[in-house]
Amino acid sequence: PRRRRGGERMLPAAAATDQAYGADQITVLEGLEPVRKRPGMYIGSTGPKGLHHLVWEVVDNAVDEAMAGHCSHVEVVLSTVQFEGGPRDLVTVRDNGRGIPTGLHPKTGKPALETVLTVLHAGGKFGGDSSG
């Protein structure tokens, strides 16, 4: 790329296309499809930073249970385990809190555990008497 006097880079002009960009080019993904197609949009990255974010969320949930008085023990274990394909680093998070309810959810008609793990924006932190 060329440079202007102030040192700014000049980007080459994009090639013009005859194709119009309109509302019909907007894709709407339903359910978990957007997470499967672009997981980095939800966890920030699909690399080590994304993994760190996921681990932090699980640890944060356990600590929230303790802070709310619903558990007295939180354990985080970092380990390396031998598998058939070679060693794997693992993170295990345990607490003695309430866990995820397993009864049928009134809106989905499915077990609450399945709802929490498969429906976007489903969880106990969005309101209700027992949200933490």
Cβ(46)–Cβ(36) under 8 Å?
Answer: no
Q: What is the pLDDT of residue 30?
A: 79
Q: Helices (DSSP H) in the chain: which residue ranges?
A: 33-37, 40-43, 48-67, 112-118
Check pLDDT > 70 for residue 74: yes
pTM for this model (two decimals): 0.65
Q: What is the pLDDT of residue 97?
A: 93
pLDDT score at 87: 94
Compare 52 and 31 and report the one with higher pLDDT: 52
With cut-offs at 50, 70 and 90, classify the pLDDT of residue 56: very high
Helices and strands, number each (H, E), in the chain? 4, 4
Based on the number of CB atoms within 10 Å of its own CB, is 89 exposed (0-12), middle (13-18) or buried (19 or more)?
exposed
CA distance 81 to 77: 12
